[in-house]
Amino acid sequence: MGSGSEVVDIDSLERGLLLSTPTGSQIQVGAEGESEEEPVLYAASFEEMEENFVKYQTAQWVVYSLLLILAWGIGLFMLLYVPVRRYILRKDIRSRKLFLTPNSIVYKVTKPVPFPCFGVLKKEKHVLLPSVSDLVIEQGYLQSLFGVYSLRIENVGVRRPPSDDVQIQGIANPRAFRKAVLMRLANMRSEGFSRQVSTIEDVPNFRLVSPSKSLRHDSISQSGDLILLQKLEEVGSSVKRVQTLIEEQHSQKSEVLD
């Protein structure tokens, strides 16, 4: 289980990998003085689901309150807290922003703390697209009664603490956002493949020889050299034999003349 500082470090590292481009509609993707911008490819909407989301969360809160009344009596205080709870939920869903950029999914939310007089809680999440494997759309029984969906982002082989999972409720059209993300991922993979192909085409067309062919060629050349050396040795020995014969005949003639 990672601590809060470790989670912040992961997010800052992810933001540091994001590229900035000056064109198109843009959003701020920086924190603590960073001024990085990225164009927005798709922006999810939460406004249409505000009432359903508040009703769903209120119904869930009331159910828990009734159960706790039967158990320990704490649910009575939770029922009295319902108006404040609804106020926090409305501020929460109105502040939610979910964007798709060329390199990441950005989720921002600003909501009051359980006691609004003590300020607000800001959350900003960046998920790099290469680390996304799928977007799962979920809907439980109580959510189906109010038409509320949950969107969960699955990562590729990355282990994160449960508190760091990206789960977003109340998106008006989660399927459209999922389709936009998957299309962007497909375009990124096709662009990477086309870059690899163009790089291969730019390489000069030299004749490539496999290691096995190269070894076979070397062995053939070496055997040819050996055969040539053997022929030269045979010619040399033949020349020597001819020279010895000539010398023997010359010596015999000289003896006859004497």
101-143 confidence digits (pLDDT tens):
999 999 999 988 888 888 899 999 999 998 888 899 999 999 9
Q: Give the chain's domain count.
A: 1
Question: Which pLDDT does position 209 carry in this prediction?
Answer: 44
91 is in which domain, residue-wise?
Answer: 4-201
Assess if residue 13 is contained within a domain.
yes
- Sheet-wide strand order for 150-155: 132-138, 150-155, 167-169
Assess if residue 237 is contained within a domain.
no
Q: In this structure, what token pair is assigned to residue 24?
A: 């198109």
95: Cβ–Cβ under 8 A, 6 or more apart, which residues?
108, 109, 110, 111
List Cβ<8 Å contacts ≥24 apart for 134-138.
135/174, 135/177, 135/178, 135/181, 135/182, 137/174, 137/175, 137/178
Lowest mean pLDDT among 3-7, 37-41, 105-109, 245-249: 3-7
Dihedral of alpha carbons 95, 103, 129, 4, sign:
negative
Assess if residue 257 is contained within a domain.
no
Stretch (H or E) spanning 39: strand 37-39
Question: Which pLDDT does position 181 carry in this prediction?
Answer: 93
Residue 36 pLDDT greater than 60, yes or no: no
Question: Which pLDDT does position 158 carry in this prediction?
Answer: 56
Assess if residue 15 is contained within a domain.
yes
Question: Which pLDDT does position 35 carry in this prediction?
Answer: 38
Assess if residue 33 is contained within a domain.
yes
Residue among 100, 128, 125 nearest 41 (CA): 100
Query: In which band, very low, low, confident or very high, does the pLDDT at 208 lie, cut at 50, 70 and 90?
Result: very low
| Residues β-bridged to residue 192 | none
Query: In which band, very low, low, confident or very high, does the pLDDT at 246 lie, cut at 50, 70 and 90?
Result: confident
Assess if residue 8 is contained within a domain.
yes
Count the alpha carbons within 13 Å of 204 in the hemisphere toward its beta carbon.
2
pLDDT digits (tens, 9 = 90+) for 4-27: 444 444 455 445 444 433 334 455
